[in-house]
Amino acid sequence: MDKTKLLEWYFAGLRKQALTSNLAHDLTPMSLIQADQDLLKEKIERDLQQKSSEGRNSAEAKANSADRSEKDTRHLEPPSFKTEMDESPWIMSIPMLAFLGLALSFDDGSRWVVAAIFFSIMLIAVMLTIIRKKQVSALQSYIDLFESLEIKFSEGKRSTSSLLRTAAEQLQSSIQLMKQKELLAFEYCPYILCELDEDGKFKTLNQTAFKAWGYTAEALLNKEIGDLLHVDSIEILFESMSRCKRMGRPETVEIASLNESGSLIHLSWRTEWSSSAQAFYCMAEDITIRVEHENLKTEMRQMLTHDLKAPINNLSMWTYNMLYGSYGEINSEASDSLKKTQQNLQSILMLLENLLDIDKVESGMMPSNKKKFLINDSIDRSIQLLADWAKDVGVKLEARNSDLQVIADEQQVTRILTNFLSNAIKWTPAGETVTVRARTEEQKVLVEVMDKGPGIPESVKNRLFERWTSAESAAKNTPPSTGIGLYMAKKFAELQGGAVGASEREGGGSIFWLKLPVSK
């Protein structure tokens, strides 16, 4: 297999993804260089053919005589018509005048024959002069073109043929140099580049691949890619390759591979099927360090949240008991402080729950206990959890009864609605009402939490349910949002086969909605 084709595919991928790679800017695929050269060659040959058809033999001879030596090999001046008399067809006019004078001494019959010959020769001279002028113009255009390409010429005669010969030699030299750069670019590209046949066997690899896996070229060629993969990644990669060939579009997956020493390598593997080569073109980036860092952060987050959960639960229970007189009577000022403390602790506990669940959800390990239940049960439960806080800040909670049933995980649905209600209470001014209602829409149960707050900020409207996105607020002395509550609400809804969203409320405020499959 020609390594050039695989490298061209690699560069095409870089341009398509608009990656800022020095390698992509410094080197150009040979296909583009050769295409430019073919166009240049075609133009030159077409011009030469057109000019030579008007006087090929004489044009070459006259063009050679019109050239002068030039010391500056890069900035050439166009040939001049008035350089020397022997360079112009008009030099024939001198013997022609003498011949005409001689003809006038002949008798009348011979005189007309000689005159006809004279004027024929003069007409030929004029035609040759016109051809010469076109050749000089064409020659100058070639000089300008080659100067723009920074082609240097040696001293000597300048003719169209000599210019083209010099240009061809230098272009050929450039091609050879580019081929050497191309080979180096392929071999030492920062990514693994390889070609696999339909069975997944290696046909071509670069030096980066040998270095990453630690095998020699003889050991890897004709070896199956499956032999280098971790057992959990074999099915992932081959399914990706199958989809790539069937759908005719590139596929990118993250897989784990083993090098010669048995160490684990994490790769971002991109596959594209080439119907012309009947092979898979593959590019792989080593993401081992990134994956290890992410795993380390996940482990640290899980450890910290798990260790923090127990003492905060104990602290929440202690403040609750103190608030409701388990340790004796307290004054109103202390009661208000304990209520705020209790609310903050509940917010922290909810955050810890989200942090513990976020990895389970993203890895697909979050269980979902789906069953049939009344959506009104989840609405009532979420209102009960936040009723004290809403009362303290002067916000009324109103639920419109519904007998609609859904099929979902009741605990996760309650967490979604609790998150929506918590945001609604935070943004709604004192004295206003937050309303929760459920209705059917497009064969789904639609639950809406409607507040009377300032609406959704434009800065976060398009990414409201993305990870770590939040709208800053200091309303009602609530703790700042971490930006994962709505993200987790979206993930929980997707686990139920539902969806979440938000919109502006008519008359002011926002509507956060949840769609769930209706029970039939």
Task: Kindly report whether the global pTM for this prediction surpasses the value 0.75.
Answer: no
pLDDT at 122: 73
275 SS3 class: coil
How confident is the model over 5-60, as pLDDT tens digits? 776 777 666 655 544 444 434 444 444 445 445 555 565 566 556 655 555 455 44
Parse the chain into domains and list their residue ranges: 3-185, 190-286, 297-365, 367-520
| CA 460 – CA 470 distance, rounded (Å) | 7
| CA 168 – CA 158 distance, rounded (Å) | 15
Its CATH class, for the domain covering 367-520, is: alpha beta
Residue 266: band (very low, low, confident or very high) from pLDDT cuts 50, 70, 90: very high
Identify whether the C-beta of residue 229 lies closer than 8 Å to the C-beta of residue 255. yes
- Which residues touch 327 (CB under 8 Å, ≥6 apart)? 321
How confident is the model over 330-350, as pLDDT tens digits? 888 888 888 888 878 877 887
pLDDT at 87: 44
Would the pLDDT of 514 be above 70?
A: yes
Identify whether the C-beta of residue 436 lies closer than 8 Å to the C-beta of residue 417. yes
Please give the biggest Cα pair distance in the chain.
154
pLDDT at 63: 45
Buried b (16+ CB within 10 A) or exposed e, 372-410: ebbbbebbbbbbebbeebbebbebebebeebebbbbbbb
Question: Which segment, 38-42, 254-258, 297-301, is predicted with the most confidence on average?
Answer: 254-258
Would the pLDDT of 78 be above 60?
A: no
Phi, psi at 425, each rounded to 5°:
-65, -40
| CA 356 – CA 496 distance, rounded (Å) | 19
- Which residues touch 381 (CB under 8 Å, ≥6 apart)? 414
Residue 434: band (very low, low, confident or very high) from pLDDT cuts 50, 70, 90: very high
What is the DSSP-derived secondary structure letter of residue 430?
T
Identify whether the C-beta of residue 9 lies closer than 8 Å to the C-beta of residue 1. no
* Domain 190-286 part of CATH 1.10.274.10: no
Residue 461: band (very low, low, confident or very high) from pLDDT cuts 50, 70, 90: confident
For residue 27, give both structure tokens: 């080197």
pLDDT at 313: 84
For the chain, what is the mean pLDDT? 76
Identify whether the C-beta of residue 217 lies closer than 8 Å to the C-beta of residue 202. no
